[in-house]
């Protein structure tokens, strides 16, 4: 605690101030700070999470088991034996699944299984890294970054990484 003497007119008063460290320590130990926040109920039950995992695994298999698997926001689950019957025909809730993971509400085993097959948790970061890779390859091949507006990465061209085939690089 710090003390200071102030002179006001004829009388003296002692001001007592508390250091910021002591104040913050008290705040951390108060009942408000030690009370745990109520756990928000997960959006999906464990059974539903397992079904969503099955969908991602099926998409991964159909794509030829790439290193990473990114599911588009508007992906509709096909009517096929590979997918859970209860989910066929509906839009895959990829944004909600990513949010549940960010907020720590997905089962750790489900997260581990999705990580193991390379599920993309951050779509924006993934797109940016793909664009960087494509631009790097373009410069390597053409000696510049003057990409024409209609340029698409050639499909079935072994010079380009397969995950970039058909990427519309000219409209980045």
User: pLDDT tens across 107-127, in order?
Assistant: 999 999 999 999 999 999 999
Is 7 domain-assigned? yes
Residue 55 sits in the same domain as residue 86: yes
Is 41 domain-assigned? no
pLDDT of residue 38: 56
Decide: 131 and 172 in contact? Cβ < 8 Å: yes
8: DSSP letter: E
Of 41 and 31, the structure prediction assigns the larger pLDDT to 41
- Categorize the per-residue pLDDT at 42 as very low, low, confident or very high, splitting at 50, 70 and 90: confident
Number of domains in the chain: 3
Identify the domain containing residue 137 by its residue range: 133-171
Residue 29 sits in the same domain as residue 50: no
Is 126 domain-assigned? no
Residue 104 sits in the same domain as residue 164: no
Is 154 domain-assigned? yes
Is 152 domain-assigned? yes
Whole-number Å distance between alpha carbons of 130 and 118: 14
> What pTM value is reported for the model?
0.67
Residue 12 sits in the same domain as residue 61: no
Decide: 32 and 23 in contact? Cβ < 8 Å: no
Whole-number Å distance between alpha carbons of 152 and 168: 4
Dihedral through CA 18, CA 24, CA 25, CA 29, nearest 10? Answer: 120
Is 128 domain-assigned? no
Contacts of residue 57, Cβ cutoff 8 Å, sequence gap at least 6? 113, 117
Residue 7 sits in the same domain as residue 57: no
Residue 54 sits in the same domain as residue 7: no
Mean pLDDT score, 23-45? 58
């Amino acid at each position: 605690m710090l003390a200071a003497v102030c002179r006001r007119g004829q009388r003296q008063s002692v001001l007592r101030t508390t250091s910021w460290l002591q104040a913050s320590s008290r705040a951390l130990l108060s009942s408000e700070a030690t009370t745990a926040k109520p756990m928000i109920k997960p959006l999906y039950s464990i059974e539903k999470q397992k079904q969503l995992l099955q969908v991602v695994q099926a998409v991964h298999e159909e794509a030829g088991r790439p290193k990473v698997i990114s599911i588009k926001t508007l992906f509709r689950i096909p009517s096929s034996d590979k997918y859970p019957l209860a989910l066929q025909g509906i839009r895959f809730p990829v944004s909600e699944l990513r949010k549940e993971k960010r907020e720590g509400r997905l089962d750790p085993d489900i997260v581990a299984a999705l990580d193991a097959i390379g599920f993309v948790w951050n779509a924006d970061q993934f797109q940016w890294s793909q664009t960087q890779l494509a631009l790097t390859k373009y410069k390597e091949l053409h000696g510049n970054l003057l990409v024409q507006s209609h340029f698409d990465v050639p499909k079935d061209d072994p010079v380009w990484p397969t995950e970039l085939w058909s990427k519309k690089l000219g409209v980045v």
